[in-house]
Structures are given as structure tokens and as C-alpha cells.
Homo-oligomer: A and B are copies of this chain.
């Protein structure tokens, strides 16, 4: 293994000077800098991150803690991860997906071991216990999502208000007046107080009231089968509906196939609009779903930036911290029949 000592010797300088050019922490004459860089290149030097971490007390590793047991890691999550990793890499950090349980104990363990400088938390619940864990241990973290009391917590999230506004506005513009929201299942303990469910449902109730629509909300687990059941219920109990907003990705697939199966043609008879969805998921349905596209790439990058700013003692991330999902018109929406 080539160490800084080897580089220093070859360049005829002290090990400290090598450290200075490596970290750019002190001014160094262009000439010596060049000699050092040459020596590093010739020797194929790669700085040992473990030693650096021990000495500087910064590992430059960020963990994206994903509650893999309770939340399925699908395409949306993959988008968050990829963009977050890229944002981290651009700032000399490693971002890794660290599979942890949701109970917070594994998280405690992880941060206690000093392996990570900070944590990006996904799938946050309004009263998420993991937040308390991280605060308790003094670990820097950023949220993708929000707790109820978000004062002073670094966070980014979807702008549910604007998203729902635009979604309903779009359907209204097409001529729809009888809508229904297929929301998430808040009775499921894993999603108890899950932010996106609570916030988008609240937003929908507000917006529907503003438009003077009757407010109908079904709860539905995030599964294709559950979506099919919701479709059946919808057809049975609310046959006058002309457009459906679906919150969960996989429910949305089920709503489409459920409607198809019941002989309701989408979008001719009824429109379906996904409220939060990744393009890969939308492409799986037939017809391809119209969607409010989850701003995963933006949020992953912003969340990471917010955390790194903390780590570096920089100014907090400037607004906006809330990013709306943008409308992508697919094949599942059209004007109402008649």
C-alpha cells in the first residue's frame, strides 16, 4: 500500500505538506504542489479513507437509511437513491443505502459506531421515532419528508398542496366534476401517520371543497390487488365518478387493471391520474398512466445537499424545500364521457 509517507519521501517534502495539497487546507507553492501531485501519480497513491476518518473524525460517508422491511424499495426509492448518491459524490461524500429496520435500534447501532457522518432519512412519518434517535445521538441528518413539528429540522419534501392543486385543476380543465381520491391506508400501522398520506388527503379535501366537488375518499393499501378492489368498490358505490386520483403507485396499477376488468374503459369511460409516481411505474400499466411525477431526483439531491451543508457548517439550504410533482400526461386521462 502506498501511503502519504511514501509520497512525501518521493516528492522530498514532509507528510504534512502532502496532506495540505490533498485537502487544500493550506497554501502550497505551485512548484511543490506539482512535485507532490507527480509523485502521487507515479506511485498510484490513494488516500486511505479509514485513516483519514479516524484522524479527522469525519468518514465522509452518508447513510441513506431505508426502512426496507416496511416500505418496499421500488422505482421511486431508486430514483431518490441515485440522485442522492450523485449529489454526494459531487461534494466528496459517499452516499450508501444502509438497510435498517424502522424501529430505530439498528439506526442507533449504526451511528454509534461512528461509521457515518450523517443520515438522510426517507419515508418519514409525522411522528417518526428515528428522528428522536438521531437527535438523541447528536447525529446530523436531513429528512426527505416531514414530521409534524419540523421547526429547525433540515428537510425537503413534496409540495402536496401544489401537486394536488395542479392535478385537480388538470382534471377540472378536462371537464371532470365527479372525482374520487384513492388514498393510502392509514389504518396500516406501518403507515400510521405517514406524511404523504396525511398531507395529500388533506390537500385534496381542501381543493375539492374549493371547486365545490363532493369529496369522496377511499383508503387503499399500496398493492395492485388492493387497487383492483378499490376499483370495484368505486364502480359499485360511486358509478357517477368520471376521474380517479390515486395516491399510491402500485394501487394505481391495480385501479387501472381493475377498471379494465370490470369493463370500464380507461380513459374513455373514466380517467385515472396517479398523484405520485415514478416514470418506470407509470410505464407498466396499460394504458400508460397519466401522472404527477414524483420529484425524486430533485428531492434526493436537495436532501443530500441539506445534510452536507450541515456537515460542513455552511448556511442552511435555501428554499424552496417543497417541490411539487409535475404533470405528465399519459394515456389514462381524457375528457369525461358524454
A188 interface residue (CB < 8 Å to B): no
A96 nearest CB neighbor, chain B only: B96
A20 interface residue (CB < 8 Å to B): no
Contact between chains at A85 and B99 (CB < 8 Å) = yes
Which residues of B lie under 8 Å from residue A114 when comparing CB positions? 1, 46, 48-50
Which residues of B lie under 8 Å from residue A59 when comparing CB positions? 50
Given the known inter-chain contacts A54-B50, A284-B284, please indicate yes or no for A97 contacting B97, CB distance below 8 A: yes
Which residues of B lie under 8 Å from residue A112 when comparing CB positions? 46
A73 interface residue (CB < 8 Å to B): yes
A111 to chain B, nearest CB (A): 9
A253 interface residue (CB < 8 Å to B): yes
Contact between chains at A223 and B283 (CB < 8 Å) = yes
Binds B, one of A34-42, A75-83, A235-243: A75-83
In the bound complex, what is the Cα–Cα distance between A206 and B322 (angstroms)?
56
A73 nearest CB neighbor, chain B only: B78
Given the known inter-chain contacts A59-B50, A114-B49, please indicate yes or no for A253 contacting B284, CB distance below 8 A: yes
A: contact size bracket: 35 or more
In the bound complex, what is the Cα–Cα distance between A257 and B284 (angstroms)?
9
Contact with B along A111-134 (1 / 0, CB 8 A): 011110000000000000000000
A249 nearest CB neighbor, chain B only: B284
In the bound complex, what is the Cα–Cα distance between A46 and B98 (angstroms)?
19
A68 nearest CB neighbor, chain B only: B82
A131 to chain B, nearest CB (A): 20
A61 interface residue (CB < 8 Å to B): yes
A290 to chain B, nearest CB (A): 16
A15 to chain B, nearest CB (A): 16
Extra contacts, 19 of them, besides A50-B53, A72-B78 (Cβ < 8 A), are: A1-B114, A46-B114, A48-B113, A48-B114, A50-B54, A51-B54, A68-B81, A69-B82, A73-B75, A73-B82, A74-B78, A81-B97, A95-B99, A97-B97, A97-B99, A223-B283, A224-B283, A228-B286, A254-B286
Residues of A within 8 A of B (CB): 1, 46-51, 53-54, 59, 61, 63, 68-69, 72-75, 78, 81-82, 85, 94-99, 109-110, 112-115, 223-225, 228, 250, 253-254, 257-258, 260-261, 280, 283-286, 288
Supply 16 A–B pairs (Cβ within 8 Å), ascending by A: A49-B115, A50-B54, A51-B54, A63-B96, A68-B81, A69-B82, A73-B78, A73-B81, A96-B96, A96-B97, A96-B99, A224-B283, A224-B284, A224-B286, A225-B288, A261-B286
